[in-house]
Amino acid sequence: MQIVLYKKAKDTHTHYYEINDRQLHLFSSYGFTVRWWREGASSRERHYSFPSRSERDSALQRLLQRKYREGYRVLYHYFRHRLPAALPGLLRRMGGG
């Protein structure tokens, strides 16, 4: 899974927010990594792990809803496996077809 979000800030910089599952957590099979940065600046990163797929999917949905309210839109998304049920509609609203 990879989802890249962006928003144009009032200071004319573009802000990016990336969510992916490129790295499994040592103690859990369910998780994702988020990375965020502003155009021209260094990025920051945070890892999340969950005890079940449903908890991971719920957290992902809450995170995307929050970013949507903050003004982020989808730049790119790719899912290697089945998409969580609530995400297709949310990604469409965010401009990610």
Q: What is the pLDDT of residue 59?
A: 94
Mean pLDDT of 64-86: 86
- Per-residue confidence at 95, pLDDT binned at 50, 70, 90? confident
Task: Enumerate residues 6+ apart whose C-beta is below 8 A from 96.
Answer: 3, 73, 74, 76, 77
User: What CATH number is attached to the domain comprising 32?
Assistant: 2.20.140.10
* Domain hosting residue 30, numbered range: 2-95
pLDDT at 64 over 80: yes
Predicted TM-score of the model (pTM): 0.86
How do residues 2-40 score in pLDDT, each as one tens digit?
999 999 988 889 999 999 987 666 778 888 999 999 998
DSSP for residue 13: -
Structure-token pair, residue 20: 């992916």
Q: What is the pLDDT of residue 97?
A: 56
Tally of domains within the chain: 1
